[in-house]
Amino acid sequence: MITTVLIWLPIAAALVVWILPLSRYATGSLAVLVSLAEVGIWIEQAARFDFARSGLQFEQRGSWISDLHVSYHVGVYGFSLWLVGLTVVCMAAAISYGFWVGRDRSRAYFGLMLFLSGTIVGVFTAQDLLLFYAFFEGMLIPLYILLGVWGGAGRLGATVKLLIYTMAGSLLMLAALVAYGLHAGTFDLVDGPTSISRWIFLGFMFAFAIKAPFFPFHGWLPDSYREAPPEVTAILSGVIAKAGTYGMLRIAITKFPEPTSYYRTLILALAATALIYGSILAFRSPDFRGVVAYSSMAQSGLIGLGLFSGVGLGLDGAVLQMVAHGLVSTALFLLAGTIERRTTTGLFALLGGMAKGRPALATLLMTVGIISLAVPGSATFAGEFLILAGAFQRAWWWAAIGCAAIVLAAMYMLRLISGVLHEARGSTVDDAALDLRAGELALIVPLVAGLVFLSAWPAGISHHSFAGDQPVQAVQGQFK
């Protein structure tokens, strides 16, 4: 029941916002309140979650299309619990950011953000393939409009790329899930058997590889990440990209063990390419958002390395990295938004020297940046270390490639930090560009606090994602 509430509360709130003619303040306040209520409900759920027990928890099942054995079936596992938490926390920050900057057409805007929030939670909790697909596609609708209406100057091209790329993947997934479900006689993810069909596996992987994105399916990424409003980009890279990697873990690896091992080398190679290539592109990017955008592609590749290493350490590390990078990426894009509001630009050529006289901004950006480049002791370091240890168990050279990427991460992140905060004062940075205000701090500091907490206790996630802390057995047993 609590899972259903997490999904449908924001969607119901979205309908309320669309129907009732509330004022801008009332609409924004309602949206922020609902998103905070989501966080509260999730904390309640996490507190009641039994990490020692295997199998689905907070489960709810109802009939939808019994004709074809499709049901409304939701519930959470350890790893999905963390991803739901990531979603509600990041959505709360993003919605508050939208309220803070005062987006126009507020009823449409907040309704769409709430709707998006509900569908993302749905993706992470759906235990029926068609339901999963419905939410996976459903995310795209608000995203498309948010990007197309509130985005930057090049938004129209960006929306077309986003929609066509992701729908191409999703529709192949629809074909794959029809094939899987009709063969298995059920669309239920918990009851469904494993399959050895390589075509069906590829259909699913294609969709997830686009969403994540892996090389060479990242064509939509730079435009969307640059043109979307910063808070939407934060959700896109922090949370929605994780839906791709989550799908790999929950469906591709779990339901298709034989095709997974058959294509393992290919997928690891694509993930490693995303990691290296994304890092290089991030280093070459001329602007703040470009760096973070390509770095999230690189991080998706890293997570893919962990997932497809097929060993326990890699899987643990991948889940930890999904959450940690989600928080990092959300915080960075929101910071990018605050900087763009002050200077109208994210280009390093026009920025610089912002540390002077802006201690709060400098401290936050520095902290998040340092965590992002995986300095030892940080949550992302723990995640990357686990993933690389897992990749090493698969073959040493995967780990070697991953280590190279850590060096690259340091290069692009330090370039970003110095480009914004240090060096000579940029032409767009003047005294009118004030330090972060209390409202902005209230949005970003909790995200950073979460990161610091995870840095102190990464085992909170990495030891609590799979039942009995035995990832490989859990995956082989299909989480039953």
d(CA 13, CA 27): 10
Give the side-chain half-sphere CA count within 13 A for 355: 15
288 interacts with other proteins by CB under 8 A = no
179 interacts with other proteins by CB under 8 A = yes
Residues in contact with other proteins, total (CB under 8 A)? 36
Q: In the 8-state DSSP scheme, what is residue 249?
A: I
Contact residue for other proteins among 112, 163, 313, 448 (CB under 8 A): 163
99 interacts with other proteins by CB under 8 A = no
Closer residue to other proteins in complex, CB, 94/173: 173
156 interacts with other proteins by CB under 8 A = yes
Q: Report helix, strand or coil for 61.
A: strand
d(CA 471, CA 136): 25
Partners of 57 in the β-ladder: 76
Tokens of 93: 């920050």
Give 194's contacts (C-beta < 8 A, 6+ positions apart). 254, 255, 256, 257, 258, 478
Q: Report helix, strand or coil for 49.
A: coil
391 interacts with other proteins by CB under 8 A = no
Contact residue for other proteins among 76, 94, 140, 328 (CB under 8 A): 140
479 interacts with other proteins by CB under 8 A = no
Q: Residue 175 Cβ, how far from other proteins at the closest point, in Å?
A: 5
164 interacts with other proteins by CB under 8 A = yes
Tell me which stretch binds other proteins (CB under 8 A): 22-30, 87-95, 148-156, 264-272: 148-156
Closer residue to other proteins in complex, CB, 172/252: 172
d(CA 447, CA 92): 10
φ, ψ dihedrals at 188, nearest 5°: -75, 135
d(CA 80, CA 57): 10
Q: Report helix, strand or coil for 215.
A: coil
184 interacts with other proteins by CB under 8 A = no
Contact residue for other proteins among 77, 100, 135, 294 (CB under 8 A): 135
Tell me which stretch binds other proteins (CB under 8 A): 30-38, 152-160, 239-247, 346-354: 152-160
65 interacts with other proteins by CB under 8 A = yes
Q: Residue 16 Cβ, how far from other proteins at the closest point, in Å?
A: 15
Task: Say which residue the tokens 């350490």 belong to.
Answer: 313
Q: Residue 199 Cβ, how far from other proteins at the closest point, in Å?
A: 8
202 interacts with other proteins by CB under 8 A = no
Closer residue to other proteins in complex, CB, 168/360: 168
Amino acid at 403: C
Mark 126-135 as b/e (b = at least 16 C-beta within 10 Å). Answer: bbbbbbbbbb
Contact residue for other proteins among 73, 103, 155, 289 (CB under 8 A): 155
449 interacts with other proteins by CB under 8 A = no
168 interacts with other proteins by CB under 8 A = yes
Q: Residue 164 Cβ, how far from other proteins at the closest point, in Å?
A: 7
Which pairing describes strands 57-65 and 70-76: parallel, antiparallel, or unpaired?
antiparallel
Taking each helix axis from N to C end, the angle separating 288-309 and 264-284, rounded to the nearest 10 degrees, works out to: 160
Residues near other proteins (CB under 8 A): 18, 63-68, 105, 130, 133-135, 137-138, 140-141, 144-145, 148-149, 155-156, 159-160, 163-164, 167-168, 171-172, 174-175, 178-179, 181-182
